Amino acid sequence: MPFDDETFSFIICTAAFKNFDDPVGALKEIYRVLKPNEKALIIDLRRDASRTLLDEYVKNMGLGSINSFITRWTFKLMLLKRAYTKDELKQFLSMTPFKEYDILEKKIGL
């Protein structure tokens, strides 16, 4: 990232982490630009999210039938393939300077 070391007090990454080709490198960059003892928040889809939960989420979006179909298709055939599991995230984090972290699991849309 084009920022000096220890620049930010807080970093948030929403719905983008699954798109990074080098997730360990991305986490190392996040750590590098964080000020000491500050925090980062990554919010993203899990590959093991249930189809039922995804269908419920799309239904609650209030989309028309065509847009609902396209959105469900996008989740199932594209986004889930790029997403990570909790164990994969732990493995990535173990290869970074992050020593303390929490991985919280929450239903989407809540």
pLDDT value at position 109? 57
d(CA 2, CA 64): 41
CATH number of the domain located at residue range(s) 1-44+84-100 in this protein:
3.40.50.150
Q: Is 101 a residue whose pLDDT tops 70?
A: yes
Mean confidence (pLDDT) of the chain? 91
What are the Cα distances from residue 93, in Å, to 26, 27, 31, 37, 80? 10, 7, 11, 16, 20
Q: Is 63 a residue whose pLDDT tops 80?
A: yes
Q: Is 108 a residue whose pLDDT tops 70?
A: no
Q: What is the pTM of this model?
A: 0.82
> By the 8 A CB rule, do 47 and 57 touch?
no
Q: What is the pLDDT of residues 8-23, one digit of tens each?
A: 999 999 999 999 999 9
**Four-residue CA torsion sign, 17, 19, 23, 29:** negative
Give me the residue label for tokens 């732990």.
Answer: 90
Q: Is 40 a residue whose pLDDT tops 60?
A: yes
Q: What single-letter DSSP state applies at residue 76?
A: I
